[in-house]
Each structure stands twice: as C-alpha cells, then as structure tokens.
Chain A
Amino acid sequence: MKKTKLGEFEELVLMTVVVLQEEAYGVEIKRELEDRLSETLSVGSIQSALKRMEEKGFLTSEFGEATQKRGGKRKRIYSATPYAHRVLKEMKDVRSQLWAAMPNVATS
C-alpha cells in the first residue's frame, strides 16, 4: 500500500459513490451514509471529502440534470476512477490479511 492518503471518512464516501452508481451526487451520498452510519452528516463534510478526493484523483465528476427541488440547480454526479478501485481493493486486502492474522480471542 503506497501513498494513497485516503482517510477513513473519505474511504466511506468513496465506497458510497461506487455503490450508488449513477445516483452518486452530494445529497444522495449523504442520505445513504446517514442511513448506514445512523448519524447526521452535513452537506459541507461530504462535499469537502468529495472535493479532496477529486483533487487526489480518486473521483471524476460531471454535471447531471437539474430538479425543481434543487431550485433549478444541477447535480454533480461523481464516479470512482480505476485508481480509486485499485486503492479500495488494496485497502480491503490489507484489512483481510490483518483480520486473518489476528488471534481468535477478542472478537465476538
């Protein structure tokens, strides 16, 4: 695992983006994560994570359609880059290896 620099929260957001596919825009990501984490998140926190990851090359984005609910403003749909998929996979591997190496005491 090289210098991926993917924070924990960023990783969660990134995975949500992958999960949501075409629906992956700010508010939807927020709703999905709020459901899964059962805690309230702010638009700002999601957005800053998205912008950071876009800068680091984990995400690309393009404008989607506008809805009335958004006051006529367009959504921005995010999708993960191949690089992001690779990093996610790497992190998962590292984790499962660590899990496997863990003595079977503390869990359950």
Chain B
Amino acid sequence: MSKEDNHIAPPRWSQRLLRLFLRAAYLEEIEGDIDEVFEDYLEQHSVNKAKRLYSREVLKALRPALIKRLINTQKFNYLSMLQHNLLITLRGFRRHKTTFLINLIGLSTGLAASLLIFLWVSDERSVDSFHEKDDQLYRIMTHFQLSDEVVTWDYVSGRFGRAMVTEFPEVENAVWIGNKTHLPSGVMNYDQGNYETSGLFGSTNFFDVLSYKLLSGSPSEVLTNSESVVVSESTALKIFGTVEAAVGKTISYQTRFFDQEFVVTGVFEAPPSNATLQFDAVVNYELLIKRDKYANEWNGGYSQTYIVLKEGTNITAFNTKIENFMDDKVNNERFTVFVQKYSDYYLNGEYNEGALVGGRIESVRLFTIVSILILVIASINFMNLSTAQASRKMKEIGVKKAIGANRITLTLQFMIESMLISLLALVLSALLVYLLLPQFNLIAEKNIALDLKQHLPMLFWTVLATGLLAGSYPAFYLSGFNPVAVLKGKVSNIKGEEFIRKGLVIVQFTLSIIFIIGVIVINQQIKFTQNKNLGYSRDNIVTFQSRGLKSEEVITFVDRLKNTPGVTSAGNMAGDFLWGDDSGSGYWTSKNPEHRQHLFKSPKMGYDVIETMGLKIIEGRAFNPEFMDNENRIILNESAVKLLGLENPLGTKINYGNSSSREIIGVVRDFQYGSLHQAVEPMIIRFRDWGRECIVKLQAGAELNTLQRIEELHKEFHPKYNFEATYLEDDYRALYKSEENESALSNYMAGIAIIISCLGLFGLAAFTAERRTKEIGIRKILGASEFTIVRLLTQAFTKTVIIAILLAIPLSYFFSESWLSNFAYSIDLKWWIFAVAGLSSLLIAWFTIGFQTFRASRINPAQCLRNE
C-alpha cells in the first residue's frame, strides 16, 4: 500500500507553515493526520495535485481553534483591560484640559493641513492618468539642436505616428492631434444660432486609442472622413437640446482652418477635470493637411503624437532605437527623438539643454515635504506635553508596575492614548477639511472633493502613523521607569528628558522659521515680478483677439478702432507680449553666418504697437504708415544688435534664409517679452499689419464707455464671436498664477506651522511654570521682583528659540536660493528677511509664554508654600 521505495515528501513550505502556526500540543496528531491524507491523495491523484491538496489541507487547518495564541497569557482579559485603559485616558483628558485641548487642536489642524495637501498632491498626480492604456501610452518628444542651445518640443511631424507603427514592432498604435498652435477653434452655426467652440484635430483612431468616453457613436468610426465632427456632451446639449438629437445633424463650423458643413457623428463625455486636453469638438486631422500641406511633411512640427507601446517594452532601449529616426527624413542630424510617458509630462515637463529639469513636480514635492513637516511639528507637541506630564503619571506607572504590569502592556496603554487622540483629531480634521475644501479649491484652482470611501484607508494609515509617531517616545520613555525609585519619589534622568524636550522645541521652531522665511521670499519675489519695469507700460491697456476675419478686414477693423473716441492709440500684432513664445531662426549677417541657427524672438507687429505699448525707440523709427512699411523692414532690440555685432544698425541689411534680406529701420530698448521666467533675448520685430492680437490703450477715466464702443465695433466686424477683452495688467498677474497659488498655499501652511508650534510652547510654558511654583515662591520670599521671575522663566525658552534661529537661517538661505534660481530675474536675498523672520519668531515665542510667566510671577508665596 505505502510507497516505501520512492517516497514523495509533502511540500516543504506548507509543512513549515503548519509547524510555525499550529499549537504545539496538537502538532503531532494533526500533522500525522494530514500526512496520512496526503498518502491517500498520492494514490488517487498526480503528485502535483496531491501536493496542492496538501497545501489546501494545511491552510484549512490554520483556524483559530488550532493555532497558537498570539500572546501567551491565555486568561488575559483584553476587553476589561482595554476598558480600564480607555477610562484612565478619558479621565486624564478631563483632568488636564489644557494639555488635552492643545494636543487636540494642534494635531487636528496639522492633520487637516496635511490632508488638504495630500488631496492636492494626489489630484496633481492623477492628471492625465485616466487613459485605459496609461501604462503603455507615450508622448513623442524631440530635442532640437540650435547653434547655441538645445530646445525640447512636444510636437513632431504629422507623419510621425504612422511611420512609427510601420517601422517599429514595439509600437502597437499611434494617435496624433494638432498641436496647441493648430487648434480649430471657432464658431458652429445651427438653426440661426452661433456657438463658440474650441476644437481639436484628431487622427481617425483618436477615440479608439484614448479613453474619452463616447456617449454616442462607435470609437473607430466617428472620425473616418473629413466631414465628420464629434462634439462634447455640453456642446450637444447647448446646440441640440439632447445628445440623441445631435447625432446625424448637419452643422456648419468655421475656424481659421476651414469653413464647411459637418455631420455630427458622435457625442463624447466632457474630458475629466484632471485632463490637460480640454476640448468641445474633434475633427479629422486630414482637414488640417488639406489646409496646410506642411501638416503632413517631415519638416513641419504640427502634431502632438502619442504612441501605445507593447506591454513590457524597455523604454531606454526603445529610446536609443528611435533616437535618430528623423535624421534621414529631414537630411540633418539636429533632431533627437525620444518618448516620455503621457501622464508623466504634466508634472515633469521642463527641459533645459536636452535634459529633464523637473516642472510642476517640484511644487508637488515641496508641498509633500511641507505637509509631513507640519505633521511632525504637531506630533512633537504631543510628545513634549506627554513627557512633560510624566511626573504626573509616575505614581500611576509605579503602582501598575508594582502590581505586575509589564512594559509591553504599559507601552500599549500609552499607544492607545495617543491613538485615541489622533483618532479624535482625525474626526475633527475631516470636518475641518470638509468645511475648508471649497475655499481651498478656490485658491488652488482645483475641483477636489473629499471622497471618504476612497480616502479612508489613507486616513487610517495617517492616524496610525501619527499615533505611532506621537506616542512612541512617551510610551517607551514612561514605561521604562523603575517602580521602586518612582514610588520612593526619586525621579532620575530629568536632565536628559529636558534635553530631549528642548531639542524637539528647537526642531519645531527651526521648521517654523524656515517656513516664515520661505513665505517672505516667495511674497517678495511675486511683488517684484508685479512691479518690475518691463520696458513697456501695462496701464489701461486692453487686449483681445480679432477672430474669423480676412487680413484686409483686420486692417480696416484696426483703423476704425484707432478712430474710436476714448482710444488713445491702438495697434495689432501676431504674438503675445506675455507668453513670448514666437521665435524664428534664419537671420544672419555676412560677417557671421553662424547666427543663422540662432532662434530670435520674432513677434510680428503692425503700426502703432510700439507707441501703444510705450516701448522706447533708441535709434531710427517705429513702423509708420507714411513710409509704406512692408515685411522687408525690421526693428531690432538692443540685445539683437549686440548679438549680431552691428555698429551702425540703421539701414543695415540682414540676410534672411538663402535669398532675401531685411533692412533695419529702428532699434528698440530691451523689454521683457514673455514671463520673467525667461530672460530678455535678442529680438527681431517683423512687420505684419494684419496680426489678430489687438492692443488698445484707453484714455484714463472713460474706460467703461470706451470699452462699450469697442464692443459695438467688434460686434459689427465679428457678429459671431463674443467680445473678450482683458486688461493686460490682469493677464500679467495671471501669468504668475502658479506662483501666486503657491504663495497663497505656503502662507497658510506657514501660519499653521507657527500656530501649532506656539501651541506646544504654550503648553510647555504652562507646565514649567506649574512645576516651578515652589521655586518661584521661595525666590519671591527672598526678595525677587516679578520682573526677575519673568526674566528667569523666559530665559530658558529664549535660548532654545535663538538656537532655532541660528539653525534655520543657513538652511532657509539655501532653500530660498535654489527656489529663486528658477527665475531669470529674481530678488536678492537681503539680510533683513532673515532678521524679520528671526525677530518675529522670538516675539511670537515671548508673547506665547508671556501669559504663563506673568501669571507665575504673580504667585502669592504664602499660598504655594503652604502645604509642605
């Protein structure tokens, strides 16, 4: 019956599991039973199956009745012990109300702040990751070699995607869209109604590959021809009333790329709020090619292309493989092609000289660290106050130990206490977050909701971590007392304890001071950017776009605009002062042909722009209708003159490309083109009198009336478009929105950090004053004045805060410097910033402990010395 010859052993791991967990008294019998069953199985089934069944038997045998008890004392009454601990804890809370409240308030504000930041961070991280194939979805990027720098583009040729699919087996699929300068935004007409629509050119498989949900229509068919348009749900509702009514309808749609009839083939759900691509309508990319053949040429960078890579593709290897993909297509080696994960781009989208330098991820990291630090500060409060209270608890611990409590149970008790507090704090902070979220969303420009079900596990872990962090030190410290010494009234190790407590306060204040300095630096920098002399004036200037007009019409429109009463002057251009993202190369002097590669900032301005913006002409003249200027005339800025090494720029001809040349008619003083993140660069101002960006300077005092007149004029020329003029000043502020958001957030965070630190200091001061009452009493009897007492009590705290200041200054100097280096133009770190931060923290600290020390100094010695 038995197989003596070739004995097959049961699986070793299961055996070990059984031996590890089964109660020792049962082991022999039950293991024997299972072994016997295993032998039966071996006779009936294959070896593998028998082994599997054996493992299953083992797992089934690991049930509460049969496994080892986790704690040896079998009769230990957990429940009543827990009850007792809870009771003691609650009584403690009631007796020491100040400490309890300080702990609770500190922890809950700290938790609330961290929670808000956590929500923000997780929202930032979720951006663009909603696509089903997120893991495989990559964006094609290129580094482009200029003569003196490398620029990085997130757009490539419109042919790129298809070629990738055929040439590389790793590429499963490719989808491409028109890049952000090729967005078909315009007006849809249906049944006499005009609807402004922001559109997107998408390749035929757009909805097939990307996860934008179609409410109607099939993903692979909605974009098959160039007469189909897919609209968003909200657009469908706006135009047709219902989603169903939209499908199959013919509408006309006009943009600067096309003006034709479309059939609505599908309706998609609005892109989620955490998508960077937001659009109301999608039309076929072929339409862009029809309008502009470069959209399908290798040397046109018209499309953003995303590819789906086969699962398990090695990205580094793939990047090496495609690196030189463009070389034979454009016959030069200036392109380096690479891919970046689609959802990574939002946070890591900044490149410098061909290397990734970060992007929004820096703020995300910064705030993650800040939130953790705030939590640490709040936990330090708890630690400090509980160890400070140790003297109150010593007797309790002594008695418990004498009766037979061991260290583990005591540790457990203190842990329960800190867990309870952090749980209470959590409830409070959840409430706080719930109340503050709308305000927070406003500041952070987000649409975050507190979804308890989704965030509950995270909350649970936070509470556990905070409870552990805050409770660990008191728990291990207090449970280590020697009962005999404690009950005799001898308390050892007070010195060491105070040392640690002071150390923790120093940590708290160092962090707070760093926060204060950080906030001052951020605010100063923002004020600086808002007041910096940009070389042009922003006062009373409104800008708006003239859309949907032919070039001749634009010229008439601008002429009419100039003659509108209340308008000081007006001009039009192509390009944008605040974004400054238009540039071009190909300009060179015969002396130095190398400059051909240089990418000059090159806005195209019409007449009167220079005058309207208040730019200073140093030499020559601005564009002027009297001279019948044309595109062969250019104006340089000082930097460009310097770069090209021109001594007498006026009248000099500059070669452009291979065959044409441009004449310099003026030189303008350097001014800021683009945000302050960019330095002032050499610029060549070209001429174009039909640019669509209108710039109007209004007469002060009559702005509203003038704006109304302009709006009427606008309506006359652009009946289908809304008039959307904005003040340049406002736009300029919006440019620094992300810094302003950061600054608002960091203001709040610094405030919270300081409040929490002060709460802790307050508690400690109260405690010290209480413990030293007798000393103070005796001092007073011996003749100490109230002032002496206040000074005495303040001294100790002053020292700690000063140490904190000394620690914080070099650290914060380092951090501020690295933050400021993100800006091309930044403030200098002045000594007063550090002085203000240090002094104010010292004052805050004094103020916090002032109340306590003052009260202590007014003690009546007769009362406090009475019972001894």
Q: Which residues from chain A sit less than 8 Å from chain B, CB to CB?
A: 25-27, 30, 42-45, 47-48, 51-52, 63, 66-71, 73-76
Q: Which of B1, B26, B36, B56 contacts A47 (CB 8 A)?
A: B26
A42/B56 contact (C-beta < 8 A), A47-B26, A73-B31 known:
yes
Shortest CB distance B21–A (Å) = 12
CB 8 Å contact bits of B61-104 with A (1 = contact, 0 = none)? 11101100000000000000000000000000000000000000
Interchain nearest-CB distance for B852 vs A (Å): 60
A68–B2 CB distance below 8 A = yes
Please determine whether B37 and A76 come into contact, CB atoms closer than 8 angstroms: no
- 18 contacts across the A-B interface (CB closer than 8 A): A27-B33, A43-B34, A43-B57, A45-B60, A47-B30, A47-B33, A47-B61, A48-B63, A51-B65, A51-B66, A69-B2, A70-B33, A70-B35, A71-B32, A73-B29, A74-B29, A75-B29, A75-B32
Using CB atoms, name the residue of chain A closest to B30.
A47
- Give Cα A52–Cα B63 distance, bound, in whole angstroms: 12
> Are B60 and A44 touching (Cβ within 8 A)?
yes
Do A43 and B60 form a contact, CB below 8 Å, given A26-B30, A73-B28?
Answer: yes
Main secondary structure of the interface of A (DSSP, over half): helix
Q: How far is the CA of A47 from the CA of B32 in the complex (A)?
A: 12
Judge whether B39 is part of the interface by a CB distance below 8 angstroms: yes
Residue numbers in A under 8 Å from B36 (CB-CB): 27, 67, 69-70
The 6 closest A-B pairs by CB, nearest first: A73-B32, A44-B61, A26-B33, A44-B60, A42-B60, A70-B32
Contacts of B66 in A (CB 8 A): 44, 47-48, 51
Q: Which residues of B contact A69 (CB under 8 A)?
A: 1-2, 35-36, 39
Q: Which residues of chain A are near B1, meaning CB under 8 Å? A: 69
* Min CB gap B44→A, angstroms: 12
B residues near A45, Cβ cutoff 8 Å = 60
A16 smallest CB distance to B (angstroms): 15
Residues on A with C-beta less than 8 A from B28 are 73-74
In B10-50, the 8 Å CB interface with A consists of 26, 28-37, 39
Bound state CA distance, A95 and B30, in angstroms?
34
| 16 further contact pairs, Cβ within 8 A, besides A48-B65, A70-B35, A71-B32 | A26-B33, A27-B33, A30-B37, A42-B56, A42-B61, A43-B37, A44-B60, A45-B60, A47-B61, A51-B65, A63-B29, A69-B2, A69-B35, A69-B36, A71-B31, A73-B35
Q: In the complex, what distance in Å separates the CA atom of A27 from the CA atom of B57?
A: 12
Query: Nearest Cβ in chain A — how far from B677, in angstroms?
Result: 67
Report how far A63 CA is from B28 CA in the complex, Å.
10
| Distance between Cα atoms of A46 and B531 in the complex (Å) | 83
A47 to B57, CA, bound (A): 11
Contacts of A27 in B (CB 8 A): 33, 36-37
Residues of B within 8 A of A74 (CB): 28-29, 32
Minimal beta-carbon separation of A64 from chain B (angstroms)? 10
CB neighbours of A43 from chain B (8 A): 30, 33-34, 37, 57, 60-61
Known A-B contacts A30-B37, A47-B26, A51-B26; the reply to A66 vs B65 at CB < 8 A is no
> In angstroms, how far is the closest chain B Cβ from the Cβ of A88?
21
What CA separation (Å) do A70 and B35 show in the bound complex? 5
B26 and A71 form a contact (CB under 8 A): no
Residues of B within 8 A of A26 (CB): 29-30, 32-33
By beta carbon, the residue of chain A nearest B61 is A44
In the bound complex, residues from chain A placing their C-beta under 8 Å from that of B2 are 68-69
Closest Cβ of chain A to B64, distance in Å, is 8
Residues of A within 8 A of B31 (CB): 71, 73
- How distant is B27 from chain A, measured CB to nearest CB, in Å? 9
Q: Which residues of A are found within 8 Å of B37, using beta-carbon distances?
A: 27, 30, 43
Instruction: Return A105 CB to nearest CB of chain B, in Å.
Output: 41
Residues of A contacting B30 in the complex (Cβ-Cβ under 8 angstroms)? 26, 43, 47
- Cβ of B45 to closest chain A Cβ, rounded Å: 13
**B65: chain A residues within 8 A (beta carbon):** 48, 51-52
CA distance A27 to B33 in the complex (A): 6
Interface residue from B4, B32, B39, B57 paired with A42 (Cβ < 8 Å) = B57
Residue on B nearest A40 in the bound complex, by CB: B53
**In the complex, what distance in Å separates the CA atom of A71 from the CA atom of B19?**
15
Give the complex CA separation of A81 and B434 in angstroms.
63
How far does the Cβ of A61 sit from chain B's closest Cβ, in whole Å? 9
A75 to chain B, nearest CB (A): 7
Q: What's the nearest-Cβ distance from chain B to residue A1, in Å?
A: 24
A44 near B57 (CB under 8 angstroms)? yes
Q: How far is the CA of A76 from the CA of B27 in the complex (A)?
A: 11
Closest to A66 in B: B32
Q: How far is the CA of A87 from the CA of B284 in the complex (A)?
A: 83
Q: What residues of B have a CB within 8 angstroms of the CB of A63 in the complex? A: 29
Shortest distance in angstroms between B23's beta carbon and chain A's nearest beta carbon? 9
Cα of A74 to Cα of B32 in the assembled complex, Å: 7
CB-defined contacts of B4 to chain A, threshold 8 Å: 68
B11 to chain A, nearest CB (A): 14
**B residues in contact with A68, CB < 8 Å:** 2, 4
